[in-house]
Amino acid sequence: MADCLDQRSLAGATGSLSRETPVAAASLPELVFNANPAPMWVFDTASLRFLAVNDAVVIRYGYSREELLNLTLREVVAVETTEWLLRELAADTLLPGTSLVWPHRTKAGVLLPLEAIATPLDYPQRTAWLVVGTDITERRRTEAALRQSEEHLRNILAHIPCGVFWKDRALIYSGCNDQFARDCGLSVAGEVLGRTDDDLTACPEEAELSHSRDLQVIANGTPLLNIEETRTRPDGTKATLLISRVPMLDTQQRVIGVLGVYKDVTELKRLEMQFRQAQKMEAIGRLAGGVAHDFNNLLTIISGNVHLLQTMPSDDPEFPLLLDDVRDAAERAATLTRQLLTFSRKQPTRPEVCDLNAIVTGFLSMLRRLIGDRVQLRTELHEQPIPVKVDRSQIEQVLLNLAANAKDAMPQGGTITLVTAAEQGPERLAVLRVSDTGCGMTDEVKKHLFEPFFTTKDVGKGTGLGLATVYGIVQKACGTIGVDSTVGVGTTFTIRLPWCDDPPKASTVLPGQHGTTGTRPPVRTILIVEDEERLRKMARFTLEGQGFSVLEADCAHTALQLLAPPQPCDVLITDMVMPGMDGRELATQVRSRRPDIGVVFISGFVPNQERLDGVPGALFLPKPFTPLDLVKTVERAFRRPPASHPGSSWRSPASS
Ligand SMILES: Nc1ncnc2c1ncn2[C@@H]1O[C@H](COP(=O)(O)OP(=O)(O)O)[C@@H](O)[C@H]1O
Ligand SMILES: [Mg+2]
């Protein structure tokens, strides 16, 4: 820098150069020096006196040029700075081009933070330094504002009642808030840096799921909002998180990572389940009315026919027909209880890929029972299966609630139509429509319809929980619900669910899973070995009512004969104490030939465990037992998965 400055022209600037000096008269170096917006001055190495200052200095420091030229550096920089400078100069250790931040004081006493670059300069008869300053007030202000905004963000992150984390494209954590650190069992947020989910969770499946969702967000550049995820806490308990992931973008809109925000909704879920269960009880209460009516009819058939049979000679041609009726009625009663139990069972199942048509058809008999005789039930089902990923019993609850409302809207009778359809838009959707020809509703009612406890019904008739529950269920299944209604004409509820392209579980898309038709092909075979004939008959009747094929034997010997190949058999039910070969011996022999047969021992005596140990996996059912006990136990006894029995569509209350 010293090279490009003409010392004589600068010397001229000492006194004569002033703002009044005509521009034409000034040399180029003078001009560059004077007109430079950066404050520049030259000071004498020995006395620190200003030898030259440019206009920018005059403007900034508030002194006139004459005043400045009578001052030294001492008057404008701090004492320590001066002392330091003098030491450096004396030792000759100040390097040319050294950049220093010196606070300078203006005439008014204001401190200017100035970054100064000093360069030695040969000056007539002395050495001097040229200093070029940069006012960094603005930079300081920007830095402070940035610090403040960072502080502000840090504060938000620290106090927001959510866990927040962010990862780079390689899914390595690049930051998180305290909540997230706590949830991972880390003491400070900084510990998360450089880690991945594999390091932070003990559960590999959870890490994998989280990774796949992160990658989806990064690959598509679109957010994944409000998704429920299960996380194992450091103490081993499970938490349900509602988590949103959004892509993080750089200034060129390139995805550089993923940002996640979540809330722990474990408690909320528990409450929601309680709420739903309460509503289910309400719904079951309504169903029970219909079921009781049916039961009474069935009991009348049974007791009436039994009465007739008792007074009839057994060779009467009517005899077997009446017997058939009794059996039929009992079977229907069993179906009824089974359905009621299936529906009322408490635990929600995991969402599975199901055929919407199958859910609807499987639940029709239940709905008929609910709506009574005055209301017709029609269906218009899509001709193809409609795969949706749902909790089956929850969709049943939706159907039940909508049908119950439809029935209430048609006190004089009418028609309920259930429609399933496929809808093609940007995404393929499964549609479920429930229409009635009832009273319809006003706009005012429509507005509040889905609110919990909103009801227009009398006390004791409505709780206002039906549609709130429906709404919750549909939302959880990532669906939507809408309503169309005209007063005096009717109402249609339309539910849209995501079409699920995952491969369905074979057993869940078979139509008629609920088995309401009664004409299922009996595929699974059960052998009952029991010397007490009436007990054997009861068991046979119960199991046949469930669609099993049943073989009977009154002793072990007969049983072994019956089981000669190719007779199929899935489960052996045997009494333990029998004349001749006992049940345990029989089971051992059968197992040696058919290792995958299920075994159920029935006995009035509780056997000691070692007697059962000889037959691995054998179940024990103490007498006396109810038909339902029997059914439940048999279902547990199957050793081969039902999938290897195509067409078997029976589901017990205990099996799911
Ligand atoms: N199909 C329908 N036709 C007419 N009104 C209906 C229908 N479904 C629901 N509503 C109205 O919505 C209200 C709320 O329904 P819901 O949440 O099931 O509670 P509840 O049936 O206990 O009253 C009902 O009270 C009724 O006024
Ligand atoms: Mg209702």
Which pLDDT score, from 0 to 100, does residue 20 have? 47
Q: Do the beta carbons of residue 228 and residue 265 sit within 8 Å?
A: yes
**pLDDT tens column, 562-581:** 888 878 899 999 998 887 88
Residues 495 and 638 in one domain: no
Q: Is the dihedral of CA 600, 602, 606, 610 positive or negative?
A: negative
279, 281, 405, 435: which to mutate for ligand 1, most atoms within 8 A of CB? Answer: 405
CA-proximal residue: ligand 1, atom 13 (nearest) = 455
pLDDT band with cut points at 50, 70 and 90 for residue 363: confident
Which pLDDT score, from 0 to 100, does residue 642 have? 46
Cα separation values, 636 from 107, 294, 545, 655, Å = 96, 29, 17, 7
Distance in Å, CA 332 to ligand 2 centroid = 28
Q: Final residue of a domain: which of 264, 279, 309?
A: 264
What b/e sequence results for 483-502 when a residue is b if at least 16 CB atoms lie within 10 Å of its CB, and e otherwise? eebeeeebbbbbbbbbbbee
pLDDT band with cut points at 50, 70 and 90 for residue 232: very high
Angle, vertex CA 137, rays to CA 131 and CA 141, nearest 5? 150
Q: Which atom of ligand 1 is nearest to the CA of 449?
A: 12
Which pLDDT score, from 0 to 100, does residue 13 have? 46
Give backbone dihedrals phi and psi of 221, rounded to 5 degrees, phi first: 65, 20
Rama region for 85: left / alpha / beta (φ>0; ψ in -120 to 50; rest): alpha
Residues 364 and 488 in one domain: yes
What pTM was computed for the model? 0.46
Burial of 174 (0-12, 13-18, 19+ CB in 10 A): middle
In a domain, 145, yes or no: no
Tell me what the mean pLDDT of segment 604-624 comes to.
76
CA-proximal residue: ligand 1, atom 7 (nearest) = 405
pLDDT band with cut points at 50, 70 and 90 for residue 8: very low
Cα separation values, 295 from 66, 292, 301, 305, 360, Å = 115, 5, 10, 15, 23
pLDDT greater than 80 at residue 517: no
Whole-number Å distance between alpha carbons of 429 and 426? 9
Residues 293 and 417 in one domain: yes
Total domains present in the chain: 4
**pLDDT tens column, 117-160:** 989 888 778 889 999 998 888 888 999 999 999 999 889 999 99
Beta pairing partners, 575: 602
Residues 339 and 488 in one domain: yes
Which pLDDT score, from 0 to 100, does residue 312 have? 82
Distance in Å, CA 468 to ligand 2 centroid = 9
Closest ligand by atom to 436 CA = 1
pLDDT greater than 70 at residue 652: no
Residues 255 and 122 in one domain: no
Residues 352 and 487 in one domain: yes
Q: Is the dihedral of CA 473, 479, 484, 489 positive or negative?
A: negative
Q: Final residue of a domain: which of 243, 264, 285?
A: 264
**pLDDT tens column, 237-294:** 999 999 999 999 999 999 999 999 999 999 988 888 888 777 777 777 777 776 776 7
Distance in Å, CA 610 to ligand 1 centroid = 59
Comparing C-alpha atoms, which of 557, 562, 552, 559 is closest to residue 532?
A: 552
Residues 321 and 456 in one domain: yes
Residues 245 and 283 in one domain: no
Residues 496 and 631 in one domain: no
Residues 277 and 254 in one domain: no
In a domain, 275, yes or no: yes
Sheet holding 375-380, edge to edge: 375-380, 414-424, 428-436, 490-498, 480-486
CA-proximal residue: ligand 1, atom 21 (nearest) = 462
Which pLDDT score, from 0 to 100, does residue 339 have? 67
Whole-number Å distance between alpha carbons of 228 and 395? 19
Q: Final residue of a domain: which of 264, 294, 327?
A: 264
Whole-number Å distance between alpha carbons of 562 and 552? 9
Distance in Å, CA 463 to ligand 1 centroid = 10
Give backbone dihedrals phi and psi of 212, rounded to 5 degrees, phi first: -65, -35
Whole-number Å distance between alpha carbons of 622 and 329? 27
**For residue 252, how many other CB atoms are within 10 A of its CB?**
6
Whole-number Å distance between alpha carbons of 325 and 643? 33
Q: Is the dihedral of CA 582, 583, 587, 590 positive or negative?
A: positive
Domain CATH number, residue 340: 3.30.565.10
455, 471, 484, 487: which to mutate for ligand 1, most atoms within 8 A of CB? Answer: 455
Distance in Å, CA 368 to ligand 1 centroid = 19
pLDDT greater than 60 at residue 19: no
In a domain, 68, yes or no: yes
In a domain, 649, yes or no: no
Which pLDDT score, from 0 to 100, does residue 507 have? 39
Give the lowest-confidence range in 162-166, 198-202, 444-448, 541-545. Answer: 541-545
In a domain, 486, yes or no: yes
Distance in Å, CA 278 to ligand 2 centroid = 13
Domain span at residue 330? 270-508
Whole-number Å distance between alpha carbons of 652 and 94? 92
CB-side neighbour CA atoms (13 Å) of 241: 24
pLDDT greater than 50 at residue 582: yes
In a domain, 655, yes or no: no
Whole-number Å distance between alpha carbons of 438 and 493? 13
Closest ligand by atom to 452 CA = 1
User: Of 369 and 383, which is predicted with more confidence?
Assistant: 383
pLDDT greater than 70 at residue 640: no
CA-proximal residue: ligand 1, atom 18 (nearest) = 466
Cα separation values, 257 from 162, 167, 174, 187, 250, Å = 19, 5, 9, 24, 9
- For the ranges 94-108, 239-253, 293-307, the maximum mean pLDDT occurs at 239-253
Could you tell me what percent of the chain has a pLDDT over 90?
Answer: 43
Q: Which residue is associated with the tokens 């049974």?
A: 302
User: Of 436 and 295, which is predicted with more confidence?
Assistant: 436
Whole-number Å distance between alpha carbons of 593 and 574? 16
Domain CATH number, residue 232: 3.30.450.20
Closest ligand by atom to 434 CA = 1
Cα separation values, 514 from 157, 369, 522, 638, Å = 50, 15, 15, 19
Written as one letter, the residue type at 646 is P
User: Of 550 and 513, which is predicted with more confidence?
Assistant: 550
Whole-number Å distance between alpha carbons of 220 and 197? 21
**pLDDT tens column, 45-65:** 889 999 999 999 999 899 999
Beta pairing partners, 224: 245
Please spell the DSSP secondary structure of 210-241, one letter per residue: HHHHHHHHHHH---EEEEEEEEE-TTS-EEEE
**Please, what is the angle between helix 533-545 and helix 627-637, to 10°?**
70
Which pLDDT score, from 0 to 100, does residue 398 have? 93
Q: Which atom of ligand 1 is nearest to the CA of 404?
A: 21
pLDDT band with cut points at 50, 70 and 90 for residue 648: very low
Residues 459 and 547 in one domain: no
**Length of the chain as a residue count:** 656
Distance in Å, CA 349 to ligand 1 centroid = 27
Which residue ranges have their beta carbon within 6 Å of ligand 1? 401, 405-406, 409, 436, 438-441, 445, 449, 454-457, 462-464, 466-468, 491
pLDDT greater than 60 at residue 512: no
**pLDDT tens column, 528-561:** 998 877 778 778 877 877 778 888 898 999 899 8
Whole-number Å distance between alpha carbons of 567 and 593? 12
Domain CATH number, residue 576: 3.40.50.2300
In a domain, 519, yes or no: no
**pLDDT tens column, 473-506:** 898 888 999 999 999 999 999 999 999 987 655 4
The pLDDT mean for the chain works out to 83
Closest ligand by atom to 465 CA = 1
Rama region for 617: left / alpha / beta (φ>0; ψ in -120 to 50; rest): left
Residues 338 and 485 in one domain: yes
Structure tokens, 151: 């502080």
276, 412, 449: which to mutate for ligand 1, most atoms within 8 A of CB? Answer: 449
Closest ligand by atom to 407 CA = 1
**pLDDT tens column, 396-424:** 889 999 999 999 999 999 999 999 999 99
In a domain, 193, yes or no: yes
